[in-house]
Structure 1
Amino acid sequence: MDQKLPYYMAYPTPLLYDDERRDRMDFEYMKSMYPDAAKQLLPYIEDECDRVAYEGSVMFDEYPDQLQLHLMGRRVYDRTEKDQVIEKLIRSEGKGADESWIRDLIQVMLYQEIYKRRSDQRKYNQKYYQGIAFPKG
């Protein structure tokens, strides 16, 4: 009395990759709803993260150094200032606006982007075997 299972039930592994795709699409959708100031800063933050995304990078340390993360944020700020993005953002806020909120926004967005990349790296470093994840090692 062996019941045969449909193919999709016997080999459910492809369903694991669908979750990753949905997570990525959801993350991209949320980034598309960022306020205008954040949208202008995002390419600089992603570029900085791309620049330091290599094996052994401070970004992938178990406990990233706060000073190094602050310096990454400073590099992003300096590049945006050089491209006069900071000046435009301050002008758009009106009188009395200063650059401290932009620095804080850059740091928060940078930490969020690093978190996402660390999470993705952990997922990709796992080996999937019949629907069960085993860490590589």
Structure 2
Amino acid sequence: MPFYMTYPMQNTVFEETEYEKDCKRLQEMYPRDARKIQSMVDEECDRMEYEGSMMFDRYPDRLMMEMICRRIYRGLRPEDVEEDGRLHVDEKYFILVQVMLMQEMYRRRCRHYRCRRWY
């Protein structure tokens, strides 16, 4: 076995790319509404993915998480926002936004901490 293959990071990088591919394949099977929510969640998480972001806080703030979910929901269903700015939430979609955001943040946090471990 070549020496470079004995270093454990090589295998970790391969596993990480396989995990990402598998995750994307399964997300392609989501129903249409869930795919739209997932794309908006991905965009929001892309904006939050930087060093020092609240995404990587040990204990993320519940209020901030809810505000992010409301922002995603508002972009998803602008017809639910009344003239006075209040948001009338369709509970099933809002819960789905919350669950998908938490899952995506968990996935990115795991990837972030696994990658930082090696340097």
Scaled to the shorter chain, the TM-score interval is: 0.7 to 0.9
Find 2:27's aligned residue among 22, 26, 31.
Answer: 31
Q: CA RMSD in A?
A: 2.0
2:65 and 2:5 map into 1 onto residues whose CA distance is 42
SS, match of residue 34 in structure 1: coil
* Residue 112 (structure 2) aligns with: 121
The 1:52–1:16 alpha-carbon spacing in structure 2 relative to 1, beyond 3 Å, is closer
SS, match of residue 11 in structure 1: helix
SS, match of residue 77 in structure 2: helix
Q: Larger C-alpha radius of gyration, 1 or 2?
A: 1
* Residue 12 (structure 1) aligns with: 6
Letter in 2 for 1:35: P
* Residue 53 (structure 1) aligns with: 49
Q: Which has the higher strand share?
A: 1
Q: Which has the higher helix share?
A: 2
* Residue 81 (structure 1) aligns with: 77
Task: Quote how far apart the aligned CAs of 1:106 are.
Answer: 0.4
Task: Count the aligned residue pairs.
Answer: 109
Q: What TM-score do you get using the length of structure 2 for normalisation?
A: 0.81
Unaligned stretches of 5+ residues in structure 1: 1-5, 87-97, 128-135
Unaligned stretches of 5+ residues in structure 2: 81-88
Task: Quote how far apart the aligned CAs of 1:28 are.
Answer: 1.1
Q: Which runs of 4+ in 1 moved over 4 A?
A: none
Percent pairwise identity: 31
1:59 and 1:12 map into 2 onto residues whose CA distance is 33
SS, match of residue 64 in structure 1: coil
